[in-house]
Homo-oligomer: A and B are copies of this chain.
Amino acid sequence: MTEKNLADLTATEAAHLIHEGALKSQALVEACIGRIREREDDVRAWQYFDPDVALEQARHADERFANGEHLGLLHGLPVGIKDIIATADMPTEDGTPANKGRQPDADAACVRALREAGAVIMGKTVTTELATRFPGKTRNPHNLEHTPGGSSSGSAAAVACGMVPLALGTQTGGSVTRPASFCGIYGLKPTLGMISRQGVTMQSHTLDTVGVYGRSTQDLALIGDALSIPDPSDPVSYSRAIGGLAATVADRREKPAPRFAFVRTPAWDKADSAAQKSIIDFVARHSHAITEAPDPVIFETIIDAHRCVQHAENAHHFADIEARARDLLSPTLREILDLGRTIPAKDYLDALALRDMAYRELTALLDRYDALVCLSACGAPPRGLESTGNPIFNGMWTLLGVPTVTLPLLTADGLPLGIQIIGKRREEHRLLRNAAWLDRAARV
């Protein structure tokens, strides 16, 4: 097996080899470091990366294996961490000069969970400014002239080009799903509450959700299991670990084929014609499993509702950094904060009430289908690095707090495009099983 091959393993394949003793963490991490050396000048996925810190963790993992110690789910696997997620041994700069050199005292809860599962914390990946709109330096590994999407730009690009098999992102609008779509990888944005947000720089407590990237649905399930740990310090945290995601996805026993509803969503008109054609063709090819369904009527105003909640909460959560360093914030973000401060509480509360009504309509639709499918983005990654693209196909699901998986099954203009699978809140098992089914069906 060459170094190149190792860096391109799925996390699940690598975990299997490590647990069998057929692969050392150090070899895997060295392969990933090799890939970073090869591609980082072009892709620019990393905000902080020190090969020695990564290798030290890998050697420690190999020693523990040699000592016969209990192995966690992610033993020896390198994971990239979006740079708004606190790490005790690496800076966490939030993509803003206002937090240059910030060094947290402690790991975020999700990083702690990764370490407990045996993972190697590979480094910190580039985020847009405070995980909002203003882009970081990362380029799309499929075409360097194009955006990788954002805000989890570095995490998605790193997984896409073999720098790490797994990475953490976060989503407030479309920051997990869109970069996965643009970079051609698998992404899971779980239900609000499945993964603790303790230690993650907050911009919107109603929306902020930690998500994961991998190279297969099985990978998403594997890291999902490691990260589902109840945390009373995050008020939305599940009260119990869910577990069993990987076993659910691995279970190939014959079951009735799931029934999917294709929804255009109120964002449809913002999709370009290549993207529209791509998903319509996909639906037609899979007409045995996918039926088009009309959008719930209430969805008409859901995009505005999402924006209202995000901007109002931005103004609240970023008040301190703005007071301290407004001139270090981008004009884009300053404009959002100025706008956010003008939103009346009544509009904000109306938007939250609309979310609750829309979720009731969504569950009625999901009582009739196993999952929904829609585009993951408006099209292929746009050319240019001055914007990370439009999150309009994602914000509604973030507002609704429902879990989504994006699968790299479409293309548009010769570049990757994802298809989004949506389920009910807290039904990650069912969603991942259905997503895995569709992924296999599409690859036959």
CA distance A249 to B268 in the complex (A): 61
Complex CA gap A311/B403 in Å reads 34
Q: Which of B316, B344, B346, B353 contacts A349 (CB 8 A)?
A: B316
Minimum C-beta distance from A115 to chain B (A): 28
> What residues of chain B lie closer than 8 Å to A344, measured between beta carbons?
315, 341-345
A350 at the interface (CB under 8 A from B): yes
Check: A131 CB closer than 8 A to any chain B CB.
Answer: no
Distance in Å: Cβ of A158 to nearest Cβ of chain B: 34
Question: Which residues on the B side are within 8 Å of A341 (C-beta)?
Answer: 344, 346
Which B-chain residue is minimally distant from A317 (CB atoms)?
B349
A274 located at the interface, meaning its Cβ lies under 8 Å from any Cβ of chain B in the complex: no
A442 within 8 A of B: no
- Asked if A319 is at the interface of the complex by the 8 Å CB criterion, the answer is yes
Complex copy number for this chain: 2
Asked if A397 is at the interface of the complex by the 8 Å CB criterion, the answer is no
* A425–chain B nearest beta-carbon distance, Å: 13
Q: Is A347 an interface residue (CB 8 A)?
A: yes
Cα–Cα distance between A78 and B96 once the two chains are bound (Å) = 64
Q: Which of B313, B346, B350, B353 meets A340, CB within 8 Å?
A: B346
* Interface band, chain A: 10 to 19
Nearest chain B CB to A362 CB, angstrom units:
17
A348 within 8 A of B: yes
Within A311-350, which residues are at the interface with B (CB < 8 Å)?
A: 312-313, 315-316, 319, 340-350
Query: In the assembly, what is the distance between CA of A353 and CA of B320, in Å?
Result: 13
Q: Which of B316, B319, B353 is the one whose CB lies under 8 Å from A345?
A: B316
Q: In angstroms, how far is the closest chain B Cβ from the Cβ of A207?
A: 13
- CB-CB < 8 A to A346: which residues of B? 312, 315-316, 319, 340-341, 343
List residues of chain B with CB within 8 A of the CB of A345: 312-313, 315-316, 340, 343-345, 347-348
Q: Which residues of B contact A315 (CB under 8 A)?
A: 344-346, 349
Of A312, A316, A341, A346, chain B has the most CB atoms within 10 Å of the CB of A346
For A349, the chain B residues whose CB sits under 8 A away are 312-313, 315-316, 348
Name A327-380 residues within 8 Å CB distance of B: 340-350, 353
What per-residue 1/0 map shows which CB atoms of A113-151 lie under 8 Å from chain B? 000000000000000000000000000000000000000
Could you tell me the distance between the alpha carbons of A114 and B340 in the complex, rounded to whole angstroms? 45
Q: How far is the CA of A353 from the CA of B312 in the complex (A)?
A: 14
Closest to A312 in B: B345
Neighbouring B residues of A343 by C-beta, 8 Å: 344-346
Query: Please, which residue of chain B has its CB at the minimum distance from the CB of A235?
Result: B356
Q: How far is the CB of A225 from chain B (nearest CB, A)?
A: 25
Q: Which residues of B contact A313 (CB under 8 A)?
A: 345, 349
A316 contacts which of B312, B316, B342, B353 (Cβ < 8 Å)? B353
Q: Shortest CB–CB separation between residue A279 and chain B, in angstroms? A: 35
Q: How far is the CA of A349 from the CA of B341 in the complex (A)?
A: 11
Query: From A313, which residue of chain B is reached at the shortest CB distance?
Result: B349
Identify 16 new A-B residue pairs, CB closer than 8 A, beyond the known A316-B350, A341-B344, A344-B344: A312-B345, A312-B346, A312-B349, A313-B349, A315-B344, A316-B345, A316-B349, A316-B353, A319-B346, A340-B345, A340-B346, A341-B346, A343-B344, A343-B346, A345-B347, A348-B349
A-B contact pairs, 26 of them (CB 8 A): A312-B345, A312-B346, A312-B349, A313-B345, A313-B349, A315-B344, A315-B345, A315-B349, A316-B345, A316-B346, A316-B349, A316-B353, A319-B350, A340-B345, A340-B346, A341-B344, A341-B346, A342-B344, A343-B344, A343-B346, A344-B344, A344-B345, A345-B345, A345-B347, A348-B348, A348-B349
Q: Which 10 A-B pairs have the closest CB atoms?
A: A312-B345, A316-B349, A345-B348, A315-B346, A343-B345, A345-B345, A316-B346, A341-B346, A341-B344, A316-B350
